[in-house]
Structure formats: C-alpha cells, structure tokens
Chains A and B, each alone.
Chain A
Amino acid sequence: MMEDRSPIFECRDVTVRYGDITALADVGVTFERGMIHAVVGQNGAGKTTFARVLAGLVRPAAGSLKFSGRSHAGGSVNDARRAGVELVHQSFALPPSFTVAEAMQFGAEGGSLFTRSALERRWQPHLDSLDVKVKARQRIRDLPVEIQQGVEIARALVSEAKLLILDEPTAVLSPEGTEKLFERIRRLKARDVTVILILHKIREVLAIADTVTVLRGGRLVDGPLDCTEIDADRLAELIIGPAATRGLNADDKAALTGSATVAHAHIETSSARKNSVLEMRAVSTRADTEGPALDNVDLTISAGEIIGVAGVEGNGQRTLVRAISALVDVVDGTLAIGGDDVTGKQLAARRAAGLRIIPFERNVEGLSLSSSLWENWSARSLLQMPLLAAINPVTIQKRCAAALNRWDVHYANVAQRAGSLSGGNAQKVILSREMDEDARLILAAQPTRGLDIGATSFVWDAMRDAKARGCGLLFISSDLDEIFDISDRVVVMLSGRIVAEFRPPYDISAVGAAMTGVLK
C-alpha cells in the first residue's frame, strides 16, 4: 500500500480571542496524514485552545481550517466529528457513575434501546481490540487513571476517527503509564490514525512524535519540525523563548521543559543536625470522598529542607495535606509541628505553630475570587485575633499593598477582586500570605500548576528562599522534573502510603517504578 502523505489538517491565520485575551494569533500549520504530531509549549501558550479549535469546540475569530482538503468553518463539534476528528480532554470527561459500556454507547451513533448486557457485548470487542484491559461492566469511577484514559481513547475511536487529539495525556500518568500510552499510540498509528499530542515535555516529544510544533504566547514559533532533525536544547529554547532563557539556570530550564531529567538537586551537607518542623508517626486516616485513607504514614521534615512528594494523582497526596492541616480526622498516630504535639489540635492552633498552606485548588481553597485582594490577603492574620477584635481597614490595606508589591504582584488596587488577577498573580497573593516571616512548615500543593514560565520559576525561587530562611517545605507535584529540581529528598505515595524515599541523585526510572508499585 502506498503511503498517503496528503495533509489531514491545514489551517491558516487562525486567531482566537477570549474577551480581551488573544489565545491564538495567526497560527498556520499543516499536519500530514498517518503521523504522530506533537504540539508543545508552556502553560498559556495556546495548546489547549488549538486542540479545541481542531475539535470544533471553539470557533476562531479569523482564519481558515481544512480537514482532508475540505474547508470547514469551525466551531461545530458535529462537523469535526464528521470529518473524523476526536478530542480526548485533559481532564477526563466520562461520567464517573457510568459503566464502561455505557460510556462507549454515549459517544456512539445508532441503536435505540439496549439492555445492559447487550451494551456490554457490543463494546467488549472494541475495548479488547484496542488492548484496553477492562471489563465493559465496570464503573468509570472504579478504574485507575491509566485505564480511564484508555477508555477515553477507546470512546474517541468508536466512530472510525481519522484524527485523534490528546490534550496533555501524560499529565496524569506515571513514567510507566506514559510508556504504555505511547505504545498504544504507536499501535493507533499502525492502524492509520493520525494522532496530535498536546505535550509539555521535550523528553516525551522526542520519544513518541514524528513532528513537533511549538507554540509560545498564542503564536506559532516553528513547526511542524521533523523530530529526527532537532535536539532537546534547541527545542527547549524554542519553547521558553530567547528572552526568558537568559534568566534561568540550566537545571531550572531542563525542569521547565522536561528536556532532560535533573538528576540531582543542589545537595547541601549540613553538619549540625537540624530541628524537625514536622514529625508524623504512623498516621492513619479514613478514606472519604476527597481521597484515599492515609495508611501508617511516617514523615519527618527538618528545618531548611524541601521534601518532594511524587506519585500518581489521587494516591493520598491530598489526604496527606489535609491530615497535616487538621482538615481530616487522624484516627491513629501522632503529628508534631516544630516539636509540639498537635495531633488533637485544630488548624488555627497549627497555623499559630507556624503551619502555612498553599492549597491544591488555588481558586477555591486558596482565594475567595469574588472578595477583595486585601480581604483575601489578611484572612490568615485576622484569624489569629479574637473574632470581635477591632480592625482598621485602611491600615490593613496599606500593609497588604506593601506585601503585594514586595511579592511583585501586578494589580490595580487592593480593593479589586481576587478573581480579576491572572493565575500567576493570584498564586503570588497566596504566597505573600502563606510565606511570611513566621512560617515554619509550608505545605506547597501543586504550587506551579497552570502557571507560565515566569510565574513557575518565581514560585520555585520563593520556595528556595523559604528554605534558606529555615522553613521546612512539603512540595507536592505531579511533575517529576520540578520535584527533582527542587527537592532535597523525595518520597513516593501510593494508595495512601509512603512506599519509597529517594535521595539525590534521583533515578527517574526507580521513582517511576515506585509510583506504580513495582519496587526495584
């Protein structure tokens, strides 16, 4: 069979605006049929918007789209479907209470009335043919993330898709899960499906893709480039941009782009034994709707130390933070902050002992978006006063303004709503509140998620500064590169337990194996 290399997708001068923000500007690319195309860029580069344009979820303000040579207006999911385009979202969109078979049927055409067993008989062969190891009767919520993703892909392929787009599929996976995903993608390529992968890490691009396209700030930087003809360093520069590259050290640059694994952090050998700021002894909790139970967790963090927590999302990282923050009941074990037992103490008492939290959900747990900046900023210190203490808002607002300026937050005035800030600036407001002089133990939960390069390296530097001041930090991230870059020690969480601990130099394959339970 002759290989068909005609373009499956072309676009010219595509521009997308959300309100005042231009998400994509004059992007024009051509993707050839039957290949694996990577689209890379930092957060805010426009990758997801690009994927949504292809899938018909966003109608461009300007520009032209062509699928297999035929023009499309864009902005219609049905048109894109008919052209054979399917998108697998970054955050999974399958209804958790559905069975796998029901989820399959949901995306398919044809059929009206089905019994459950008929549905299962219909879809089991499809799942088997894609090597998704799952029973069609299982419920989505009971499946591990990797299988869920397999089901998502299988669902996208129910209607003979010719162009499959995966939006950051590796973000939720362990290194091993990523490898399995890549095998699956290669098999799809063999079945003549063109795949567009939205990716974050150069290492992954070079491992899987035939071509790479780089976006930065909503513009096309270059591409599609042949992956055999580009090296990691060159690609890193394209992604970060020449201006930003200058301010970064080599390890940070590598961690930002995943061009190479940072094998060792900056090891500091301290002669004096440092005081511990956190000591958890055999801590167990109960499972609840927000995550699995902690099972016999021992963890010590010393002053001036950053402990990275690696693990596939949903393995108890959230429960760990909530347990230290007294937001979930500890049923067994003890917990001490700065040497004082706080096992039975409320969060207010633990905060008084020096606990600070940069929560997972910036916009829900970290800030009240419809409240003013100064109210958000002052909440922590106000809570250390009596409930009826008199305050002078003007003084607080002045102190808030001074703090926000010190933390380089871009804002108009302290009375503006927190929701009007960009993600990076919003995170800086939280940092300015939580990384104060009296902090001793800082829980940083996914502090760089969704931030652009500048904000990400700002957060890293803030964490290093806090460490230099003698704080102990717990750093939770799903990005192994940044964990390795920042952390003095790395622990791995699996099913609510700490299953392994690593010291520099870090071995990504060993950490990855621990994340999936294959201890070496």
Chain B
Amino acid sequence: MTERLVSVLRAVIFVLLGLALCGIMFQLAGYSAPLMFQAIADGAFLRAGALQQALRWSLPLFITATGVALSFRAGYFNIGAQGQFYIGAVSAAFMAEWLNGAPAAIVIPACIASGMLGGAAWALWPGLLRLKSGADEVITTLMGNFLAGLVLLYVTAGPLKDPSGSGQQASSRPLDAAYRISDSMGLSPTIVAIVAVVGVAIWLLINRTTFGVLSGLAGRNPTMVEWQGARTWRIGLASFLISGALAGLAGTVELMGPNGRLTGGFLPGHGFTAILIALVANFSVVGTAFVALFFGGLASAALYLPIMAGLPSAAIDVINAAIALFITAKSSLIDRIAKLKGRTWKTS
C-alpha cells in the first residue's frame, strides 16, 4: 500500500467512526440515526441546490485550511485561524470604507491585499513571540482568537457601525453592491478563481520549492534542519505569515462575498473547522480540497437537520467534535491496530 492510500483510508475511517459515534449517541438520546444520516446526505449533496450550498461553505474553508496545513506541516501550531479570519475581514472592511466611491477594479484588489495583510499581522505577533522568546504559539494564537473577536465586536459597534441597524446584533454598514464579489449564495467566478489560485500556489510552494521540502523536514525534526544550517526562524515566520494571510483572505471573501457586511461574531467556528479539515487531510493540499468539500457539506446539512430529523442544527458541531476526537487520537490508535494486524499497515 502506498503511503498516500493509507492516509486517505485513515481519514475516511476516522470520519466514518465519528459519524457512527454520533449516530449511536443521537439514537440513544431518542432521535433517529437513519433520519439523521439521511438529512446529512440530502442536505450536503443530494437535494437540489445542496451541492451549491456545500461549495459556498467549503470554498472559504479550503482557503483557511490550506494555510493551517502549511503551518502545521512546518511544525508551528497556529490555531489562531479564527482570529486571523476576523482581523482579515475587519481590515478589508476598513479598506472598503476608506476607498468608498473608487472603481471596483481598485477597491476589490486593495481589500483583498488589506485582508491578507491584516490576517498576516494577526499571525505575526504570536510568530515573533514564539521565535524570539519561545512563547507557546498554541496559547498565544488561541488567545489571539478571543482578542480578535472583541476587536470585531468593537468595530461593528463603533467605527463601522451601521446606524440603521436594529441594535439586535452589531453589524457594519453593508458594502456597496459594486464591491461585492458574489451574491449571498456565495458562489461566483471571482471566488472560484481566488480559491484556484490559492490551491495551485500553495501546492507549488509545498511540492515544488526548497521551502516545501525544508519546512516539511523542520516540522518533523527541527534539530536535524538546524544541524544542516537552516535558519529555521525564516521557515517558521513564513509559515505563520502565510497561514495568517490565507485566513485573512477567507475573511475578506466572506465579507465581500456572501456576507456583504461585518457582523459581530459571524461564522464563529470557521477557523476551528479549518484546523479539523487540515488534520483530516493530513496537511495535503489536494486532500484539503476534498475534506473541505465534505465539511462544507456538513455545514450545508445543518439547515436540514431540524427539518428532517428534528435535531438542532448544532448537532453538526457535535459531529465535527466527534471527528476531531478520533482524528487527534489517530496516531496511537493506528499504531496499535497496525501492531495487532502484524504490521500490514506499515508502509513500504
């Protein structure tokens, strides 16, 4: 068996295990597991328009998840994608506000650049803290998420507040229709093009540059790379910045595409789902595309769960969590199975 096949099988098995666990749990809790699975399948891919919905959620998730995959692969556990996503969206919103009235051909690229810079800036400080003083990036990026959430609340309730808002939920003034890159359905050639560029660029970076090989080595054994004379801080900083920039880009896409405005606490699980996607995809760009589509499908199915199975739509979060549970436990579990099976899993 090739290594690639093994990792695909792994991902599939653990996702199925997570789904099965949830099925059992909900069945025991008095819901119908078959109906739940039916609702997921229908809502994700089978119903008319379901696939479109799945894509709407999976495209931004893919952008963020490739960044997460890149940094995890290099050994830097940037779990601040959620915060970088928010700060990216906020930066893009400020840029749009500042350039309001200028032609879309200027505003849209400027907003994208600004969103990416914002996301990168929100990854820069945890990166520097890690590289210069050894502060654990898991802690700093995680805390950065809460800070970014508060920044978003401040911005939507303060500088960019929509005066006509109901007051129910703080939100910013809607973007001028000319600056939107998609309607609220979230699918447009522009977004697909952005996703394609990101996918190809990151794939090339990982698979066809010295950075790709060296960051992969550094992620598995930084000591060895240091003895080879690498300045590992450059690899580390680049990984942080790129992953932050991509999360910021996803935030920009959400702002300028389906959302059209900033809302306090919007898409609260985006960054964490992206981390889950990167983990399930085993940090491969191609894998991330498929896994993002699957999780986009789950997000889309969240609408159908209450209708078809009587489950709250938050059940999707439970499913995500169950898959996360298995995927983070995967290494030791697989090793144990491999031992029992007389090492048939060991790759050649």
Contact = CB atoms under 8 A, between A and B. Distances in A.
Contact of B224 (A19, A325, A368): A368
Contacts of A366: 224, 227
A386 B211 CA distance: 9
Contact of B3 (A346, A351, A388, A415): A415
B214 interface: yes
A348 B231 CA distance: 8
Interface string B221-232: 101111111110
Contact of A392 (B208, B211, B221, B223): B208
Interface stretch (A154-162, A370-378, A454-462): A370-378
Interface in A282-329: 325-327
A347 B210 contact: no
A387 B213 contact: no
A393 interface: yes
Contacts of A20: 343
B347 interface: yes
Contact of A371 (B207, B221, B234): B221
Contacts of A389: 209-210
B348 interface: yes
Interface residues of A, number: 41
B299 to A, nearest CB: 33
A382 B213 contact: yes
Nearest to A392: B208
Given A346-B231, A415-B3, A416-B348, A393 B223 contact: no
B229 A387 contact: no
B224 A347 contact: no
A382 to B, nearest CB: 4
Interface in B226-252: 226-231, 234-235, 238
B210 A388 contact: yes
Interface in A162-182: none
Interface stretch (A59-67, A260-268, A357-365, A482-490): A357-365
B21 interface: no
Contacts of A375: 213, 216-217
A348 B220 contact: no
B216 A383 contact: no
Contacts of B238: 387
A347 B217 CA distance: 17
Contacts of A392: 208
Contacts of A415: 3
Given A370-B220, A371-B220, A391 B213 contact: yes
Nearest to A352: B229
B348 A413 contact: yes
Interface string A390-401: 111100000000
The listed residue with most B CB atoms (<10 A of its CB), out of A367, A369, A380, A387, is A387
B240 to A, nearest CB: 15
B347 A327 contact: no
A371 B217 contact: yes
Q: Which of B208, B210, B228 gathers the greatest number of chain A CB atoms within 10 Å?
A: B228
B209 A391 contact: yes
Given A348-B229, A383-B214, A389-B210, A364 B221 contact: yes
A346 B238 CA distance: 20
B224 A379 contact: yes
A389 B210 CA distance: 6
B234 A379 contact: no
Interface in A384-435: 385-393, 412-413, 415-417
B207 A382 contact: no
A382 B214 contact: yes
A416 B220 CA distance: 15
A350 interface: yes
Interface string B186-216: 0000000000000000000001111111101
Given A325-B227, A348-B230, A382-B213, A393 B221 contact: no
A417 B209 CA distance: 20
13 contacts: A347-B227, A350-B229, A351-B228, A357-B227, A364-B221, A366-B224, A367-B224, A371-B217, A375-B213, A379-B230, A383-B230, A388-B210, A417-B347
Interface of A: 19-20, 325-327, 346-348, 350-351, 357, 359, 364-371, 375-376, 378-380, 382-383, 385-393, 412-413, 415-417
Given A382-B214, A391-B213, A413-B348, 17 more contacts: A327-B227, A346-B229, A346-B231, A350-B229, A357-B227, A364-B221, A364-B224, A368-B217, A371-B220, A375-B213, A378-B213, A380-B228, A383-B228, A383-B230, A387-B238, A393-B213, A412-B348
Nearest 8 pairs between A and B by C-beta? A368-B221, A347-B229, A348-B229, A382-B210, A365-B227, A368-B220, A351-B229, A379-B228
